[in-house]
Amino acid sequence: MPALPPHLLTCPVCTRALQDVGRTLACEHGHRFDAARQGYVNLLTGKGSPFEGDTAEMVEAREAFLGSGHYAPLRESVVAAAVQGAGAPAVALDAGAGTGYYLEGLAAAVPGLFPVALDISKIALRRAARRLPGGVSIVWDVWRPLPLADSSVDVLLNVFAPRNVGEFVRVLAPGGRLVVVTPRPGHLAGLEEVGPLLSVPAQKADDVRAAFHGALVETRREDLDYTMTLPRDLARSALVMGPAAHHPGAAGTTTPDGQRAPVEVAARFTVQVLALAGRAGGVEGCGTLPADGTDG
């Protein structure tokens, strides 16, 4: 099991390196963060974060859905994007990791990888900590400076989650890559049969490229489309696990008689790889880059 790399995590109070001292992360100034019984470490201090993470209901729905294997083709695509044409990464960060499903796939494909799952939702991170016993799962708000050293991350995953442009650029190592998954218009079409759907704006992948312009260059973009045949319970999980679940009226819980047939649902993703622009391309000034929104 790989040990915590010595200069990877930084103390949220004083920015010194955090060391693993046996179920506790500690810096040389004596700031200490104990792992929860469920395995994650909460680095948020003070009042925590105003941002709403996924709720228990959403996390359960996500686990049920991901466990069904319907997003396995996406996970394979993410793993391929993370490793193809590059040396084996040593450190992978998943920002907005949720239950750690994609990072687990990457860790299985890259022996010796040290995975870092970061999310604001403790409930999600309980699952991630179970999935990633050889890594670390950190409660953190992605809109704050990330508790990771400059240039410390070889692969940064961002799957339907918020993107902090300046911070992502700061933590990427030379030669590192960012893998972003966004939904395309028509994603989850078919679920309207089960409950109200939020529409996906067009050109999300172009927005991602534009947001990182000047710091990262897009080196690969792949659209992944397929159809899922979902039993009604999984169709409801697919609805509840997404942003629609934050809205009233999402995913009616009863199924009228006669509407029990499986639902044909579209999966439409874009998987993008962005890499640090050449040395001259400039990570300089990245702190002033705008923060992008979330795909939720």
CB within 8 Å of 126: residues ≥ 6 apart: 36, 38, 39, 40
Is the alpha carbon torsion for 160, 164, 77, 119 positive or negative? negative
Cβ-based nearer residue to ligand SAM, 8 or 159: 159
Residue nearest to Zn ion (CB): 11
Least gap, CB of 84 to Zn ion (angstroms): 38
Q: Which of residues 13-32 bind Zn ion (CB under 5 A)?
A: 13-14, 16, 27, 29, 31
- Rounded to 5°, the CA angle 63-99-238 comes to 35
CB of 149: closest distance to ligand SAM in angstroms?
19
CB nearer to Zn ion: pick between 5 and 296: 5
Antiparallel, parallel or unpaired: β 19-20 and 24-26: antiparallel
Q: Which of 107, 70, 219, 95 is nearest to 160 (CA)?
A: 95
Out of 9, 11, 211, 274, the only residue in the binding site for Zn ion (CB under 5 A) is 11
- H-run or E-run covering 226: strand 216-230
288/59 Cα distance (integer angstroms): 33
Alpha-carbon span 143 to 149, nearest angstrom: 16
Measured distance CA(71)–CA(78) in Å, rounded: 11
How many chain residues touch ligand SAM (CB under 6 A)? 21
Pick 26 or 77: Cβ nearer ligand SAM:
77
Q: Which listed option, Zn ion, ligand SAM, none, makes contact with residue 51 (CB within 5 to 8 Å by class)? A: ligand SAM
Per CB under 6 A, the list member of 18, 27, 54, 79 interacting with ligand SAM is 54
> What is the nearest approach in angstroms of Zn ion to the Cβ of residue 45?
10
Residues 226-255 that bind ligand SAM (CB under 6 A): none
Name beta bridge partners: 262: none
Q: Choose the contact partner of 11 out of ligand SAM, Zn ion, none; CB within 5 to 8 A by kind.
A: Zn ion
Residues forming the site for ligand SAM (CB under 6 A): 51, 53-54, 62, 96-99, 101, 119-121, 124, 141-143, 159-162, 296
What are the residues binding Zn ion (CB under 5 A)? 11, 13-14, 16, 27, 29, 31
